[in-house]
Structures are given as structure tokens and as C-alpha cells.
């Protein structure tokens, strides 16, 4: 049980909402009554371990997978009832960067996309293609994972959709291509009113842009909040100790990580600073330093702690 809970944020008109969303593959429950709320205009970081249900959730929003129970609302549309309408407003980068194994050159596939999306911006597509060095004459079946992923980025952004669903969008990219994609995404968000849901293990890159997050664990949302609210609740403490030191039992489940030294212990603790400092003092320790964590480190600490939302 945590010492201090983050209250759920209130969303009057969410860009994306799910209601009791449940998905099973055979006997395996992938999503268990998942309740997601994404504010309009948010950059929402969807975090969770492999197998938590992140990709399945995004695929349900695209109506590529049907839930066993519950429903989703995407920009006011039920994707099960109007999949084409919903997809026209979504830019999607799937977790698998491969392309269909056919002989079509990427240039032909781009022509198909341009005809498919009424809002396709040809000039913007050309700008993206050049920035990401997409080899348009390459047949789809011969494209490398990196080339396929760069093409996916162009396909997702070029029609300037109001919603982006990015599922491990940096997979297969080298460092230079990843940095270019991030820069393009940053510029895109600065000029276009867009809601983003990004599921990734690359928390360092994602946390620099995110303002909201959700932690999905074993198919259920353990926590959803503004990212700055999370950072207000988690701190790193350095505590000087001596022979009379007794680890404070009061911290209990509020301890996210702990690194012991001979004369100093480093803790990452969830809860009010005054409460944590008093717990350390009661155990015979002296707090020598308190730090606010970078967003990516705070998220990793919460993800490592099972039951961190209590």
C-alpha cells in the first residue's frame, strides 16, 4: 500500500476511452476490463512489460482485433461500428515493422496510401520521405526492418491525423533514424493538433515528450495520471547511516528501489517528502540529499515495483 495515491485525472471529452475492455486468446486473458482515458491533445505514454496487453489494446482501437467484451471510443467513433471512419483519422505505426512480402515498390505503396486518405498531404509526405531516407524504388519484400519502419512513419504522419497510435515505433531503427523520427514527431506536434498514444520500451525518448501516462499490468490499468503529478510523488533519498540504523518499516511498499552501502543507503520512495524524511529519522538515518527523478527513471522504478498503484 502506497503512502500517497495519485488521483485519476478527469477527462470530460477523451480522445480515446475504453470501457471494460476484455480480450482473451484461448484461456489467456490479455486485457481484463481495461479502462483507458486519454485526454484530447495529450501525449500519452502507454507503459508495461512484454505481454501486458499494450499491442492488443492499440490493435483493438484500430479494429484489427475484436474484444470479447467491452468497447472502445476513438474520437467519438466506435471502431467496431465504423472502422473505416476511425482509421481515416488515425496514424498507426505497428509493433511489427515488416511490410507485406510482395514485389510492389514502396513508391507504388505510397501512391495507394495517397489515394486512400483524403487528407493526404503530398508535399509533407515528400518532406518526410527525404528526412527519413526512404528508398522508394525498393520492393516491399526486399525492404529491411529499418526501411519498413521508416516507411511506416511516413504513412502514419503524412495525412496529418488527429490521433497517432505508435506501437514500439523505434523498433528496427538505428540511432540516427530514431533521432530523426523523434525530431519529425516533435515538429509534427508543434504544428498539428494531435493526440498521441505511444507504447514503447524506449522510455528515455518517450518520456521527454509525454505529458500523461498509463501503466498496464497483466491486462489492467494499474495507474493513469499526468506525468508531472507522478514526479511530485517520487524522490531519490540518500541516507547516512551508522551502527544504530534500523530500516524503517513504515516505508513498506512505498520503497520502489533500495541500494545499500556501508555508510549510505540510496532509496527511491513513493510518498510525501516530509513523511519519508521522518521515517528515515525514526530509523536512525540522516537524509543528506533528496532528488526529483527524471521521468524515464521514475516510470522504470514504478514498473519494477509490482502492485505500485496499490
Q: What is the CATH number of the domain that holds 254?
A: 3.30.70
The pLDDT tens digits for 257-280 are 888 888 899 999 998 999 999 999
- Look at 48-52, 100-104, 220-224, 256-260 and tell me which has the smallest mean pLDDT: 100-104
**Which of 218, 251, 274 is where one domain is finished?**
218
- Whether 253 and 204 map to the same domain: the answer is no
- Whether 159 and 269 map to the same domain: the answer is no
54: left (phi over 0), alpha (psi -120 to 50) or beta: alpha
Distance of CA 31 to CAs 16, 23, 39, 90, 185, Å? 16, 5, 21, 22, 29
Q: What pLDDT was estimated at residue 252?
A: 85
Structural domain count of the chain:
2
Query: How much is the pTM?
Result: 0.90
Q: Answer for the pair 308, 2: CB distance below 8 angstroms, yes or no.
A: yes
- Whether 32 and 163 map to the same domain: the answer is yes
Q: What pLDDT was estimated at residue 180?
A: 95
Instruction: State the residue range of the domain holding 49.
Output: 14-218
DSSP string, 21-37: EEEEETTEEEEEEE--E
Any domain includes 84:
yes
The pLDDT tens digits for 273-299 are 999 999 999 889 999 999 999 999 999
CATH of the domain at 200: 3.40.50.300
**Which of 186, 218, 250 is where one domain is finished?**
218
Amino acid at each position: 500500500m502506497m503512502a500517497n495515491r495519485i488521483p485519476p485525472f478527469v477527462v470530460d471529452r477523451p480522445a480515446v476511452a475504453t470501457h471494460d475492455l476484455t480480450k482473451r486468446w484461448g484461456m489467456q486473458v490479455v486485457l481484463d476490463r481495461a479502462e483507458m482515458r486519454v485526454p484530447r491533445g495529450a501525449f500519452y505514454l502507454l507503459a508495461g512489460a512484454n505481454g501486458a496487453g499494450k499491442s492488443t489494446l492499440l490493435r483493438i482501437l484500430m479494429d484489427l482485433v475484436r474484444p470479447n467484451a467491452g468497447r472502445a471510443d476513438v474520437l467519438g467513433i466506435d471502431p467496431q461500428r465504423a472502422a473505416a471512419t476511425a482509421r481515416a483519422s488515425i496514424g498507426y505505426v505497428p509493433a511489427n515493422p515488416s511490410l507485406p512480402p510482395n514485389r510492389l515498390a514502396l513508391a507504388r505503396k505510397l501512391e495507394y496510401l495517397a489515394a486512400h486518405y483524403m487528407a493526404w498531404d503530398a508535399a509533407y509526405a515528400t518532406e518526410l520521405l527525404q528526412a527519413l531516407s526512404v528508398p522508394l524504388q525498393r520492393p516491399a519484400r526486399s525492404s529491411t526492418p529499418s526501411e519498413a519502419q521508416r516507411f511506416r512513419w511516413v504513412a502514419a504522419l503524412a495525412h496529418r491525423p488527429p490521433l497517432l497510435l505508435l506501437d514500439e515505433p523505434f523498433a528496427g531503427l538505428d540511432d540516427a533514424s530514431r533521432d530523426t523520427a523523434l525530431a519529425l514527431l516533435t515538429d509534427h506536434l508543434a504544428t498539428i493538433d494531435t493526440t498521441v498514444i505511444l507504447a514503447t520500451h524506449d522510455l528515455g525518448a518517450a518520456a521527454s515528450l509525454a505529458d500523461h501516462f498509463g501503466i498496464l499490468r497483466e491486462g489492467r490499468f494499474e495507474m493513469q495520471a499526468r506525468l508531472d503529478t507522478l514526479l511530485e510523488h517520487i524522490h531519490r533519498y540518500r541516507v547516512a547511516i551508522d551502527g544504530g540504523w534500523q530500516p524503517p518499516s513504515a516505508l513498506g511498499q512505498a520503497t520502489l528501489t533500495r541500494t545499500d552501502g556501508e555508510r549510505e543507503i540510496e532509496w527511491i520512495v513513493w510518498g510525501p517528502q516530509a513523511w519519508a524524511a521522518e521515517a528515515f529519522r525514526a530509523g536512525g538515518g540522516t537524509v543528506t540529499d533528496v532528488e526529483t527523478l527524471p521521468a524515464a527513471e521514475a516510470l522504470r522504478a514504478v514498473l519494477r515495483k509490482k502492485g505500485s498503484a496499490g
